[in-house]
Structure 1
Amino acid sequence: MTKTRLFRLWLVLGSVFMILLIIVYWDNVGTAHFYLHTSLSRPRPPEPQPSPARVTSDMDDFLDKLLGGVTKPNAPPGKRTARPPAPASGRPGLGGQEESVRGYDWSSRAAPQGPDADARQAERRSVLRDFCANTSLAFPTKERSFDDIPNYELNHLIVDDRHGVIYCYVPKVACTNWKRVMIVLSESLLDRGAPYRDPLDIPREYVHNSSTHLTFNKFWRRYGRFSRHLMKVKLKKYTKFLFVRDPFVRLISAFRSKFELENEEFYRRFAVPMLRAYANHSSLPTSVSEAFRAGLRVSFANFIQYLLDPRTERLAPFNEHWRQVHRLCHPCQIEYDFVGKLETLDQDAAQLLRLLKVDQRLHFPPSYRNRTASSWEEDWFAQIPLAWRQQLYKLYEADFVLFGYPKPENLLRD
């Protein structure tokens, strides 16, 4: 009996020791160079340009065995998710109602690169870093550490272990196409048995399926108590990027796509409560199509009232489509290597793909073209009371300041 217990104890201690060795090695060398050539390895077909940073499923399998078979996410890196046969092209007709209505520009065009591209990036990172350290700018959660961020708030950080990339997606900032790019890079989705190669071939409904992407909030199920440590290792070693947009214009875009188009989910979850609370409608149709036929639609003023209503946040955090970027991506806790902007999307996308050394493999899908930010703001906020505009700016002030967007003075004074 004593020998059996000693044997079990040695097994446990040996497993713990191996885990510690792995972590120490991962810290010192970096996950990109950790490739186990064991029976657990599943060879991949050679690629035209091997990526400099690659972590395969071997690491996951090995850790899972040591940790006692921790449950894996639905679509872990290194294991590809097969999907039903997709149509031959992801261009108009496959992008969904929103892309068709909003008028995407599908023509190919080269993104000009000015000599100041690197300087522009350095300036954006400097502004972000300086204001995160500046005590004159205060907002909730600014002073907390990365360890203080709840796990559910890390669900926007998509990880590509094959190329050593972390992308924080921000809805209404070209995130559909950046998610497509991440799927191509990680090879996490199959089309007729082969990974997608063209981002535009990936149907929209697959792009936003949470099982398609490995995100930080899934680490706990995979690595348990070691999840935060591994997140920090990847944040240190990997290239981290996000794309942002003028905060007020992003709100307008969110309103247009979620409340001006027939969206059943957003009608039931948000439009019905808004129409009852701010438009005095007590009896409303059960479907969005019936409501639209009856002329019952949320106005932009109703939407602003909803954002400013203190009861909204007490009931639940803002939906991701209008939640502040600093609450989605935690820029004062995570030091981003690249800050892109929708206003310079073509140039920034081309520059980022070159930085990741994948520009010869794929191109960023053509961007959506629309009116300028200034005309959007002036038109849409014309009927919004001044006091509301000022309150709304305070609500999104941190995003304006952190990402270098000028204060919209013309909207905040008589």
Structure 2
Amino acid sequence: MAKARLLRMWLAVGSVAMILLIIVYWDNVGTAHFYLHTALSRPHPPQPPPTPGEALASDIDEFLDTLLGADTKQDEPPRRKTARPPTPASARPELGKLEESVRGYDWSAHDAQQGADWGWLQAERRRVLRASCANSSLAFPTKERSFDDIPNHELNHLIVDDRHGAIYCYVPKAACTNWKRVMIVLSESLLHQGAPYREPLAIPRERVHNSSTHLTFNRFWRRYGKFSRHLMKVKLKKYTKFLFVRDPFVRLISAFRSKFELENEEFYRQFAVPMLQRYSNHSSPPGSVHEAFGAGLRVSFAHFIQYLLDPRTEKLAPFNEHWRQVYRLCHPCQIDYDFVGKLETLDEDAAQLLRLLRVDHLLRFPPSYRNRTASSWAHDWFAKIPLAWRQQLYKLYEADFVLFGYPKPENLLRD
């Protein structure tokens, strides 16, 4: 009995030692044997070789899954290793079956910027981001903490595609629905009638935003246990990391339009009712959004701005992701992003990013929505907002303006 117990103990110690050796190998030696995804100027061969992301993920994941037990990944979608036939670039979903078919999507062709101009633009965006993070005069909460200091629950916006070595930090109201769709197609994380989705717009919106659909960093703990943070760093080092951003004030307008000008029961009960009670002297608002709209009772944009500026808001709970600052969602001073896309140049940036990821032969980014909230509307939307409120609001979102190179809206911040 004692010998058996001793043997089990040595086997356990040996397993842990092997895991540590594997991690050290991939972190220090294995890097030299793989093609790095972060090089912006790499060549683009007709048939791309196997990616480091897929090789790295399959070896480490399978080794850890064997040692740590299959129950550590019960909530993860099955990993597929079979090659996927390329989807024709002109493939387009049946419009009659899609919600997007009635929203006015622009199916016209857009030529992406090419060559040195695009390379310079990306280099400049990344330079501005790095310089702003290093600028001691720009102060904002969480700026000085390290990646290890970020709680797991704040990493829930980082979606990982191990098949192609990509990490996407999604920002609501910056084309995140369609980028999530692209990540689902690439990672093959969602099946339809037994086969992975091939066309992004064929994926229903409600499934796109289901958190169980995506492998995000905050789910690594269940999968990898105490090794999760180290594996996050390994993948951050080797994978292509990207995000898409938007003018902060315009993003707020877009969030207000989609969540409060349309009948949204969830946002009405959670956010609109408290706004009406606090700022509109309605002690007992209707119980449903349909009743409220029928009675002509809606929160105004001014109520929404009051809510954002109210100190009680953050004391009760963090900002909702649709108006939470990008620096709080994506941690750009702790994560060295390889690609910074902007909604204002979405078509061009999307085409270039898919080339960078070497997946442009598999799919195209869905066409852009024609009636997106325009930057030129900001003046009209903020015209009735008191100047002091506008100035406070800029302070609240100043870091996002500076980090991502958006000019200070001087015309909105003075009489």
TM-score normalised to the size of structure 1?
Answer: 0.89
Once the two structures are TM-superposed, the CA of residue 283 in structure 1 deviates from its matched residue by: 1.6
**1:245-304 CA distance string (max 9 Å, x none):** 000000000000000111111011111111111111112221111111111111000000
Secondary structure of the 2:266 match is helix
Q: Distance in 1 between matches of 2:258 and 2:181?
A: 19
Aligned to 1:223: 224
Q: Distance in 2 between matches of 1:390 and 1:19?
A: 53
Q: Distance in 1 between matches of 2:328 and 2:75?
A: 26
Q: Distance in 1 between matches of 2:26 and 2:287?
A: 54
Aligned to 1:412: 413
Identical residues among aligned pairs (%):
78
Aligned to 1:308: 309
Once the two structures are TM-superposed, the CA of residue 192 in structure 1 deviates from its matched residue by: 1.4
- Contact 1:137-1:398 at 8 Å conserved across structures: yes
Secondary structure of the 1:131 match is helix
- Contact 1:73-1:211 at 8 Å conserved across structures: no
Rate the CA distance shift 1:370–1:334 in 2: closer, same or farther, 3 A.
same
Aligned to 2:89: none
Q: Distance in 2 between matches of 1:111 and 1:392?
A: 34
Once the two structures are TM-superposed, the CA of residue 100 in structure 1 deviates from its matched residue by: 3.9
Rate the CA distance shift 1:201–1:144 in 2: closer, same or farther, 3 A.
same
Q: Distance in 2 between matches of 1:90 and 1:170?
A: 28
- Contact 2:77-2:190 at 8 Å conserved across structures: no
User: Counterpart of 2:233 in structure 1: which amino acid?
Assistant: K
User: Counterpart of 1:52 in structure 2: which amino acid?
Assistant: T
Q: Distance in 1 between matches of 2:172 and 2:124?
A: 24
Aligned to 1:17: 17
Once the two structures are TM-superposed, the CA of residue 64 in structure 1 deviates from its matched residue by: 2.5
Aligned to 1:268: 269
Q: Distance in 1 between matches of 2:212 and 2:228?
A: 18
Q: Distance in 2 between matches of 1:329 and 1:77?
A: 27
- Contact 2:250-2:373 at 8 Å conserved across structures: no
Aligned to 2:38: none
Once the two structures are TM-superposed, the CA of residue 71 in structure 1 deviates from its matched residue by: 2.6
Once the two structures are TM-superposed, the CA of residue 334 in structure 1 deviates from its matched residue by: 0.1
- Contact 1:274-1:298 at 8 Å conserved across structures: yes
Q: Distance in 2 between matches of 1:345 and 1:212?
A: 24
Q: Distance in 1 between matches of 2:258 and 2:357?
A: 31
Q: Distance in 2 between matches of 1:90 and 1:246?
A: 33
State the number of aligned residues. Answer: 391
Once the two structures are TM-superposed, the CA of residue 62 in structure 1 deviates from its matched residue by: 3.0
- Contact 1:176-1:208 at 8 Å conserved across structures: yes
Aligned to 1:175: 176
**1:164-222 CA distance string (max 9 Å, x none):** 00000000000011011111110111121111111111111111111110000000011
Aligned to 1:290: 291
Aligned to 2:341: 340
Q: Distance in 2 between matches of 1:281 and 1:73?
A: 47
Matched, 1:95 2:99: yes
Once the two structures are TM-superposed, the CA of residue 93 in structure 1 deviates from its matched residue by: 5.2
Aligned to 1:280: 281
- Contact 1:57-1:77 at 8 Å conserved across structures: no
Aligned to 1:244: 245
Secondary structure of the 1:257 match is helix
Aligned to 1:234: 235
Greater CA drift, 153-162 or 374-383: 374-383
Once the two structures are TM-superposed, the CA of residue 26 in structure 1 deviates from its matched residue by: 1.9
User: Counterpart of 1:278 in structure 2: which amino acid?
Assistant: Y
**1:2-22 CA distance string (max 9 Å, x none):** 312221121111111211122
Secondary structure of the 2:385 match is coil
**1:302-352 CA distance string (max 9 Å, x none):** 000000000000000000000000000000000000000011111111111
The equivalences for 1:20-31 within 5 A come to 20-27=20-27, 28-30=29-31
Matched, 1:156 2:157: yes
The equivalences for 1:5-404 within 5 A come to 5-27=5-27, 28-30=29-31, 51-53=50-52, 54-55=54-55, 59-72=60-73, 74-76=75-77, 78=79, 89=93, 91=95, 94-95=98-99, 100-101=102-103, 103-113=104-114, 115-370=116-371, 373-404=374-405
Q: Distance in 1 between matches of 2:274 and 2:58?
A: 45
Once the two structures are TM-superposed, the CA of residue 110 in structure 1 deviates from its matched residue by: 3.7
Greater CA drift, 142-151 or 13-22: 13-22
Aligned to 2:4: 4
Rate the CA distance shift 1:135–1:244 in 2: closer, same or farther, 3 A.
same
Rate the CA distance shift 1:240–1:303 in 2: closer, same or farther, 3 A.
same
Rate the CA distance shift 1:359–1:208 in 2: closer, same or farther, 3 A.
same
Once the two structures are TM-superposed, the CA of residue 375 in structure 1 deviates from its matched residue by: 2.0
User: Counterpart of 1:179 in structure 2: which amino acid?
Assistant: K
Q: Distance in 1 between matches of 2:178 and 2:373?
A: 21
Q: Distance in 2 between matches of 1:357 and 1:91?
A: 27
Rate the CA distance shift 1:106–1:264 in 2: closer, same or farther, 3 A.
farther
Rate the CA distance shift 1:286–1:57 in 2: closer, same or farther, 3 A.
farther
Unaligned stretches of 5+ residues in structure 1: 34-47, 81-87
Q: Distance in 1 between matches of 2:117 and 2:69?
A: 51
User: Counterpart of 1:255 in structure 2: which amino acid?
Assistant: F
TM-score normalised to the size of structure 2?
Answer: 0.89
CA RMSD of aligned residues (A): 2.2
Q: Distance in 1 between matches of 2:275 and 2:32?
A: 47
User: Counterpart of 2:98 in structure 1: which amino acid?
Assistant: L
